Amino acid sequence: MSRIEIETPIGPISADLDNLSEDLSYLLSKVKKTDKIDESTLAFLGIARDDDSVAVESKRTYYHDRSYVFWMDAMLTVLEKDYRIVKTENYNYGNNKTAPIWFDEKVGDKTIKVPHKLVMFVESKTNDERFVITFSPFDEFEIDMCFQFRSDNDFNYTTFWESVESYFYTEGLLKNAHFSADFKLLDTETFTWNHMVIKDTHRRSLERNLVRFIDSVELFQSKGLRGSRGVLLAGPPGTGKTLTCKVLMSEIDATVLYVARDAIQNVGQITELYKMARRFAPAIVILEDIDTLGGLGRDEGDHPLLGEFLNCLAGVEENNGVVTLATTNHPEKLDWALTDRPGRFDVRITFDYPDSDHRLAILEKYLEPFNTKKLNLKKIIKRTEKFSGAYLQELVQSAFMLAHEECGYCSEPQITLTHLEQAMELLESQRRKVSREKNLSYGDEVTIEELYN
């Protein structure tokens, strides 16, 4: 039997540890803890601590990402309309009173005060509704939010939160906004078809399957057709897929959810993304480099995210008013159930390396803003076979930098054919180095060498 001995002014005292533990547990069970948050909550709700006739109901909501900022903007807007915040308090460890903590979050040109660690005491402007909201943070955007109210009070949590959701999806800051999967607003420029050179067949297909489709979803549904659409843009890097996405983002009046290649890592994220897109409809979900998005393929067996993604595109729930626009440099790496199934990706548009006429149009487009002599671009165009639009843009950029250097960094450099040829040599040299490093064959390398000589 283990015992403890304690020296005291009146001599040593010894006790049996097992009995002492039991005695302390008994005493603690008889002592009512006094938590200041609980006391303030009960007092605000008009409930005596020893009153067992009225229950305190609780509802919890947990946030774990930056969507919390936009949800709080919606909730505070609803509160401002129909309720008043009587007071806010904050306590350390439940007892030591301290200042409430709010964060200032910049969203576009608006600054939002976001509750972080505090207790909010709320009452209705029109009736006897009263409730208390406790915000308990685990991290910056990881917040446990607890609503407490009397069981016999007029406050209806379900009705209240439905009004918050309604505002969030129909009038909130994300409605018709362009934002990323981590809930950051995208500072997107306005692009039009005039900013790029695109095949007429491609543009008509995009207009038909996205721009006009999303404006006429109800018409399609009235005919018993699907109210969603999936378009896959495939082709080598730099051929205009991303620029096409930017143009469509500007052309279509809809909420845009942009998903980068590293945005999806865990099961459940795709489901939440499409759940939100449905509520925001009309909406566009843009998936950049879908072949690298969470490793969606079956090269090494079933991927845990693949089944979820397939189900989101064409599963039990309808994606009415949602268009999925995806890009890929490697369509051959995508699972056949993703690419060969109407209802998932209905249309595939291939962006190949531009032919000579297309390259000439692109090069002339990029040269438009510059001071140039009359240029014969025939030889340059011949040397740019298998150049993407991105490389043609770099050709003009390098030529302008050479002209800028030659004129002593004057304000209006003039691009000449010589500058374009010098820029061409730099690009060809660079591409050959990359080809050797990657053990690839670079276009018509023999022809290039012949042109050099």
CATH of the domain at 338: 3.40.50.300
Same domain, yes or no, for 256 and 291? yes
- Do 319 and 276 touch, CB atoms closer than 8 A? no
To the nearest 5 percent, what fractions of the chain are helix, strand and coil?
Answer: 40, 25, 35
User: Among the three residues 145, 173, 201, which one is the final residue of a domain in this structure?
Assistant: 173
Range of the domain at 249: 193-350
What's the confidence (pLDDT) of residue 442? 41
If asked whether residues 318 and 393 sit together in one domain, one would say no
Q: Are residues 78 and 47 in the same domain?
A: yes
Domains in the chain, number:
3
338 plus 204 within the same structural domain: yes
Same domain as 293, residue 327: yes
Which of the listed residues 314, 332, 350 is the one where a domain comes to its end? Answer: 350
In a shared domain, residues 405 and 325: no
Same domain, yes or no: 289 and 232: yes
pLDDT, tens digit (0-9, with 9 covering 90-100), for 410-424? 999 999 999 999 999
Same domain, residue pair 332 and 365: no
Render each residue's pLDDT in the chain as its tens digit; 453 residues: 566 676 766 667 776 656 655 665 555 444 444 478 888 999 999 988 877 778 899 999 999 999 999 999 999 999 999 999 999 999 886 578 899 999 999 998 889 999 999 999 999 999 889 999 999 999 999 999 999 999 887 789 999 999 999 999 999 999 999 999 999 999 888 899 998 999 999 999 999 999 999 999 999 999 999 899 999 999 999 999 999 999 999 989 999 999 987 777 778 888 899 999 999 999 999 999 888 765 555 455 556 677 788 888 876 678 899 999 999 998 888 877 777 777 788 899 999 999 999 999 999 999 999 988 789 999 999 999 989 999 999 999 999 999 999 999 999 999 999 999 999 999 988 888 877 776 654 444 333 333 222
Residues 337 and 222 grouped into a single domain = yes
Same domain, yes or no: 210 and 166: no
Same domain, 343 and 236: yes
Q: Which of 173, 208, 231 is the last residue of a domain?
A: 173
Distance CA(150)–CA(152), nearest Å, equals 5
User: What is residue 65's three-state secondary structure?
Assistant: coil
Half-sphere exposure of 309 (CA within 13 A, CB side): 28
Tokens found for residue 374: 């009359």
Q: Is residue 182 part of a domain?
A: no
**Tokens 């409809």 — which residue?**
281
- CATH number of the CATH domain containing 416: 1.10.8.60
Let me know whether 161 and 144 are in one domain: yes
